[in-house]
Amino acid sequence: MSATVSFPVPSPHGPRTVTLSYARVGDGEPLLLLHGIGHHRQAWDPVIHLLAGERDVVSVDLPGFGASPALPDGLRHDLPTMNAALGALCETLEIDRPHVAGNSLGGLLALEMGREKLARSVTALSPAGFWTEAERRYAFGVLQGMRAVARHTPLPLVERLSRTAAGRTVLTSTIYARPGRRSPESVVAETLA
């Protein structure tokens, strides 16, 4: 079941309210799942049912992704802000130091949560951030290009392209090795995310 939660996060200009969308299922020790850039919490759907048998699983849409609005004015999209926001999320949901797993951007955030002692354990899958300056410029350029294309492609065209393996490849080949295997619905949601 998905829900939203709002909570204050400190900023240089006083607290700002952050709202995040999340889903929570299962019982056991808490596990926070953090998706990669250009994704949303549904990226974890293929494994949620496996994890929920042993864990209280919280999958979250990071700020500006999926159903979560962007950070409010006065908050930067940087590691200290994200640590504060994810720490406040856990406090609001009454989760004490969850296990954290993340992919790509989520992996970097998971490692940061571990470094700040906000996590019991960390699993980072292909974490972002271990790049040279040239690789960083390339990665940011590709991501900015993907964002621009996604924002300027009309939804009916995205939906039409998602119906074929070739169209799914055009839309998501930069983030998937086998984009043709993705469902049309997933490709549309990921393009919008």
121 in the same domain as 161: no
CATH of the domain at 18: 3.40.50.1820
Statement: residue 82 has pLDDT above 90: yes
Alpha helices for 53-132 (secondary structure H): 79-92, 105-115
SS3 category, 64: coil
Q: How far apart are CA 96 and CA 176, in angstroms?
A: 34
Statement: residue 175 has pLDDT above 80: no
Radius of gyration of the chain (CA): 17
Which DSSP helix (H) or strand (E) runs through 50?
Answer: helix 45-52
163 in the same domain as 105: no
pLDDT tens digits for range 109-128: 999 999 999 999 999 999 99
Neighbouring residues of 141: CB distance < 8 A, sequence distance ≥ 6: none
Pairing of strands 2-9, 16-25: antiparallel
Q: How many residues does the chain have?
A: 193
106 in the same domain as 50: yes
111 in the same domain as 67: yes
Domain encompassing residue 55:
2-125
119 in the same domain as 166: no
- The CA–CA distances, whole Å, from 60 to 41, 81, 170 equal 5, 16, 27
81 in the same domain as 140: no
pLDDT at residue 77, rounded to an integer: 87
107 in the same domain as 29: yes
Q: Report pTM.
A: 0.84
